[in-house]
Amino acid sequence: MLCNLKEAARIAIAENSGLPAFNVFGYEDAAAVINAAERMNRPVVLMTNKVAVAHMGIPVLAGMLLEMARRSEVPTCVHLDHATELADIRQAVDSGYTSVMIDGSQLPFDENVAVTRLRWRSPGPGG
């Protein structure tokens, strides 16, 4: 079952357990992670990083991972990890990712704070 990071974390906190998160690079990795999470009956986070995004692209990853998460028997979050480009974050959100992380660590401190504070505005229906 697809969930967002807040929902998965809430479960982990309520059960006094960790929330495993794994970088996945394709179907086989994601299937193994979900299978292990189902066997343990634990929520899990499927993370995609710059390497996976550069190789497959966000739309391909989103289509595959979101469907796998929906079919999962445990809460499964699909997360874009350490994104540095706002366009990638927007594409991930628009594609259905349930969590994103902006990484401003290579920016000067003030710029890092400014980009991290950025609030997304939904264009609303039809736009």
- Choosing from 29, 81, 88, 110, the catalytic residue is 81
Q: Which amino acid is at 125?
A: P
Q: How far, in Å, CA of 115 to CA of 33, rounded?
A: 32
Residues with Cβ within 8 Å of residue 98, at least 6 apart in sequence: 2, 3, 4, 5, 69, 77, 78, 79
Task: Look up 81 and say whether it is catalytic.
Answer: yes
Could you list the active site residues? Answer: 81
